[in-house]
Chain A
């Protein structure tokens, strides 16, 4: 029996030594967790997840918060459910929607169907909206993504979420995918991507929330423009308000894109 116990103790000691060495003798490197699935599987999503996806798109890829924020560049959207009946009866309403879901989809695709008083394009007398079509152009949301945004808007304005999660649509690309994009080399595309004309007028096109840029190269040098892009609130042009321009362009743009944009702007004379 004594022999037996000695052998057992010896075995346990040996195994203990190996385990201790593996735990304390070598560095414990924690492997990266499995990468996130690149495609979101809509079919497997719960309504809550779908609404959360809409919120992420609203704050991120959709660039909605650029204007729909506390600064009053666009109407706030928290009370949509309450004002909808009134809205649909408004004589200025040019759309065909009969409920909130249809109305929201419509205003995302055709923003000019109804322009809230005071928020129209300058000079259009509130007939034309400065908002782009979110399904096209630089934002380019897929059908399912639009649906997700609508679900989020319904939910956040206190209405019942009536949007059905599309099951036959192609799976939506996940957030990380969306952010990994190619560097843009065409100034036009670049301006569209970062929605500069929404606020700045260039050669007669664009809003007037920010200074006109049609001849900016004549009055400002490259260093100033670089600073203005990276730190927009550092030096506000006369007659304009601070905190209107996004201050994270430096993080959103590739360095090469910044140079392309500066080349373009300094050449505007």
Chain B
């Protein structure tokens, strides 16, 4: 498997890169770059009746899912390894090893799918690929080099895990992990540059003539916003997939000790996913705001036009993510006997979460029957209308994040009794912090959202985010002081968790996968009929923007393919450990 992936990549490199170099030389001889080609429908080959857009779409999506997974896992494997080194708790080291084992089988699939994406681009969109390749020749070359570095680092990191243990050798291993992550992240940054160039082209003039400054093309307007968003989302995604893996192992575990191990693994994976999930909406807002700043037309296409309903689907999915993550935490309270003290608050958290979620979900354009239209006297709803716009949604998501953090704090406290003298004062401060924070978020949302002009409307989201961050960081820091030297109510029973909670982990992973597919569609879809916005037009028969249902169907098919491949990857990881001893099959060897 691994080897075949490498061979395919080598083959691609052998075919593509000399071609690219030749192309670059040709351009260099000519002295100037050509403008972006103006294409007609005839410039797009039809091959074996395959719908070219769907082919590229599905390969790109599958590649991205796997890439997100194999980039994220080494990041938190590295962190877990460090934690293990610091605490000298071998369980962490074992878990890190099990995570990376899951990732390494996915790695070759990532490479294969990347190759398929490249092939389908060259076959179906040759002129687009050519144009991009003239601009990104160098970065494509470094991409190939880095890919080999990453592969080498990954193989040594994984296969050398048990060899490089203890003392100096562990440091060497850790350094390898760092190289692996640096290479992987740089790979992602390069690939991001190619796609953000298509959204916010830079380094080219109005006709698409390349200035020759590769860095300008890479460092285009939307590059960093996408980098941040993808980096954070990848970690959350990696966590959720590993969580699903642990959940499955938990459900099929033999005996309590195995169950305890996979419960613990699932908990940690979910913890990583939630930590990355909390800042994700902010990264998303930053990206959207930057898209607006770059081009209002892209911005309105994104938020106001045909894609407006997509954000309602997104709201359903993100709501699902938050609710299932919370549900998992609540179920996990059953692991400790002290949790009874906190369970009575859960229903209030649930009410706030669901309430905030309903606000978040309320669409700007309501679907009304004619009777309702008459009763309301128009499509405007005086109560629900104001909930449909950004300030209300910003407020709602901040409240959701705060209460998810609260769920997590309750979970952490569940089995502990504080012993410091100032417990009550500390708790009072925390309550005050939360109350003031929520009041501030509501004030900012309502006052600035509805009673001041747009500049402040957008600006108000920043103090809201800051409030949320301060409250979360402040109260968790305070918590760690309050519970310093605390005693446990009873030993924590890992594995004492209902099977339903494992399904919450599956739901998290599936929703995350599907959501990424959907958002990938809109990120790419807002370009509409442009390959490279305002520079290179898409003249193919598939230049039209599909309806949301069509996109959702493609994403669903891709998601099912991905899930099937993930199951295959997990299965293959397990098969390597199975052994069959066929009696009487082999010749007896004379002693």
Identify the A interface with B (CB < 8 A).
3-4, 7-8, 10-12, 14-16, 18-19, 21-24, 26-31, 33-35, 37, 41, 44
Interface of B, secondary structure class, is: helix
A20 CB to closest chain B CB (Å) equals 9
22 A–B pairs (Cβ distance < 8 Å), ordered by A: A3-B252, A7-B251, A7-B506, A11-B510, A15-B510, A15-B556, A16-B556, A18-B511, A18-B552, A21-B313, A22-B548, A22-B551, A23-B553, A26-B548, A27-B367, A28-B549, A29-B306, A31-B544, A31-B547, A33-B544, A44-B40, A44-B42
Cβ contacts B56-78/A at 8 Å (1 or 0 each): 00000000000000000000000
Q: B219 within 8 Å of A by Cβ?
A: no
Q: A4-B252, A28-B548, A37-B539 are in contact. List 5 more A-B contacts (CB 8 A).
A: A14-B510, A22-B549, A23-B549, A26-B312, A26-B367
CB neighbours of A27 from chain B (8 A): 309, 367
CA distance A7 to B553 in the complex (A): 21
A260 to B390 Cα, complex, angstroms: 48
Chain B residues with CB under 8 Å of A12's CB are 560
Complex Cα–Cα for A28 and B547 (A): 6
**Contact residues on B (Cβ < 8 Å of other chain), bracket:** 35 or more
Assembled-state Cα–Cα distance A26/B550 (Å): 13
Given contacts A21-B316, A31-B306, contact A41 B38 (CB under 8 A): yes
B229 in contact (CB, < 8 A): no
Q: How far is the CA of A146 from the CA of B367 in the complex (A)?
A: 52
Task: Return A40 CB to nearest CB of chain B, in Å.
Answer: 11
Nearest-neighbor residue (CB-CB) of B515 within chain A: A18
Contact of B552 among A3, A23, A35, A41 (CB under 8 A): A23
How far apart sit A28 and B551, CA to CA, in the bound complex (Å)? 11
Among B306, B317, B529, which residue has its beta carbon within 8 angstroms of that of A18? B317
Q: Is the CB of A19 within 8 A of B556?
A: yes
Q: Which residue on A lies nearest to B556, using beta carbons?
A: A19
Minimum CB–CB distance for B118 against chain A, Å: 26
Which residues of A sit under 8 angstroms from B38, Cβ to Cβ? 41
Q: By the criterion CB–CB under 8 Å, are B313 and A22 in contact? A: yes
Asked if B514 contacts A18 (CB within 8 A), the reply is yes
B214 part of interface (Cβ distance < 8 Å): no
Residues of chain B contacted by A35 (CB below 8 angstroms): 529
| Known interface pairs A11-B510, A29-B306, A34-B538; A18-B313 also in contact (CB < 8 Å) | yes
A8 contact set on B, CB distance < 8 A? 567
Residues on A with beta carbons closer than 8 Å to the beta carbon of B40: 41, 44
- Residue pair B506, A10 in contact (C-beta under 8 Å): yes
State which of B309, B553, B567 has its C-beta within 8 Å of the C-beta of A26: B309
Q: Which residues of B contact A44 (CB under 8 A)?
A: 40, 42
Bound form: Cα–Cα A130–B51 in Å: 56
* Nearest residue, chain A, Cβ from B510: A14
In whole angstroms, how far apart are the Cα atoms of A19 and B560 in the complex? Answer: 12
Instruction: Tell whether B285 is near chain A: CB-to-CB under 8 Å.
Output: no
Q: Which A-chain residue is minimally distant from B309 (CB atoms)?
A: A26
In the complex, how many angstroms separate the beta carbon of A71 from the nearest chain B beta carbon?
Answer: 40
A33 to B313, CA, bound (A): 23
Set of chain B residues within 8 Å of A19, measured between Cβ atoms: 552-553, 555-556
Task: Judge whether B271 is part of the interface by a CB distance below 8 angstroms.
Answer: no
Q: A7-B248, A18-B313, A21-B313 are in contact. Are A30 and B547 (CB under 8 A)?
A: yes
For A39, the closest partner residue in chain B by CB is: B38
In the complex, chain B residues 509-542 whose Cβ is within 8 Å of any chain A Cβ: 510-511, 514, 518, 528-529, 537-539
Q: Chain A contacts of B511 at CB under 8 A?
A: 14, 18
Q: Tell me, yes or no, whether B563 is within 8 Å of chain A by CB.
A: yes
| A15 x B559 contact (CB < 8 A) | yes
What's the least CB distance linking B327 to chain A, in Å? Answer: 14
Identify the interface centre among A23, A26, A35, A41: most chain B CB within 10 Å of its CB: A26
Complex CA gap A219/B518 in Å reads 70
* Chain A residues near B539 (CB-CB < 8 A): 37
Interface assignment of B478: CB less than 8 Å from any CB of chain A: no
User: In whole Å, how far is A38's beta carbon from the nearest beta carbon of chain B?
Assistant: 11
Determine if B313 and A34 form an interchain contact, defined as CB atoms under 8 angstroms apart: no
Q: Is the CB of B510 within 8 A of A34?
A: no
For A21, list chain B residues within 8 Å (CB).
Answer: 313, 316
Assembly CA distance A16 to B548 (angstroms): 15
B510 / chain A contacts, CB cutoff of 8 Å: 11, 14-15
Chain A, Cβ-Cβ closest to B316: A21
A23 / chain B contacts, CB cutoff of 8 Å: 549, 552-553
List B contacts of A29 (CB < 8 A): 306, 309, 547-548
